[in-house]
């Protein structure tokens, strides 16, 4: 079993001053807003957006520590989905989506139900570094599940998390699909994108399934 530890393979510290970070307008309603997704939002945002960029946030690690009784589980068998854990050495890869004009309120209204009401997540501002232009960081809104919410499950051995994921299904599909699509996204980001916690759970799932197929084949079976 791998022990919880700070992510070691992270991009170097940012050489750019905080003043270079782009922020939404603060006069009344924002005309544009960036929303950072690091879980199911990376492959299924389900809201209209004007632009999207792959990149990362520093100071956080991704953990399968949030329980899910709707999207990927049930009241009797909660699934495991990701949240962000504050970690000075951490780095979490994901996708930032830009919403503009009417898209802002529509996206926030939709995400309030999907992430806050049904998921137990709160909002937090993070600094997002686009993969292609890290010298131009952006302020983005992220949904984070904290230990204070009733669905929070907290840490567990990767083998136990894998067992729970294999057993759970919700209205959005099987919990295994969630895990494998996230792993697939990380592979597409390239070798610089590392997530030891995610990799350990995928490895644990592989050891539990008699014939663990490649990600593409596994998704077709779910």
Which residues are annotated as catalytic? 115
Q: State how far the Cα of 41 lies from the Cα of 46, in Å rounded to an integer.
A: 8
Cβ neighbours of 155 (radius 10 Å)? 13
> What SS3 class is residue 114?
helix
Kindly state the tokens that stand for 179. Answer: 């895990």
Helix, strand or coil, per DSSP, at residue 137: coil
The sign of the CA dihedral 161, 166, 172, 177 is: positive
DSSP designation for 42: G
Report the chain's C-alpha Rg in angstroms.
17
- ∠57-63-68 over CA atoms, to 5°? 120
């Amino acid at each position: 079993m791998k022990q919880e530890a700070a992510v070691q393979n992270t991009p170097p510290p940012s050489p750019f001053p905080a003043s270079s970070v782009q922020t939404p307008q603060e006069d009344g309603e924002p005309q544009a807003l960036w929303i950072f997704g690091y879980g199911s939002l990376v492959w299924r945002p389900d809201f209209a957006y004007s632009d999207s960029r792959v990149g990362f946030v520093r100071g956080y690690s991704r953990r399968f520590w949030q329980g899910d009784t709707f999207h990927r589980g049930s009241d009797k068998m909660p699934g495991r989905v990701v949240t962000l854990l504050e970690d000075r050495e951490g780095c979490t890869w994901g996708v930032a989506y830009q919403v503009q004009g009417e898209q802002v309120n529509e996206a926030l209204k939709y995400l309030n139900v999907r992430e806050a009401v049904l998921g137990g997540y709160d909002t937090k501002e993070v600094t997002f570094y686009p993969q292609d232009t890290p010298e131009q960081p952006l302020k983005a809104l992220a949904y984070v599940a904290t230990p204070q919410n009733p669905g929070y499950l907290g840490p567990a051995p990767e083998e136990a998390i894998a067992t729970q994921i294999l057993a759970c299904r919700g209205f959005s599909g099987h919990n295994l699909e969630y895990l494998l699509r996230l792993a697939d996204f990380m592979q597409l980001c390239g070798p610089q994108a590392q997530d030891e916690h995610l990799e350990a759970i995928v490895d644990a799932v592989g050891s539990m399934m008699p014939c663990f197929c490649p990600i593409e084949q596994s998704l077709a079976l779910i």
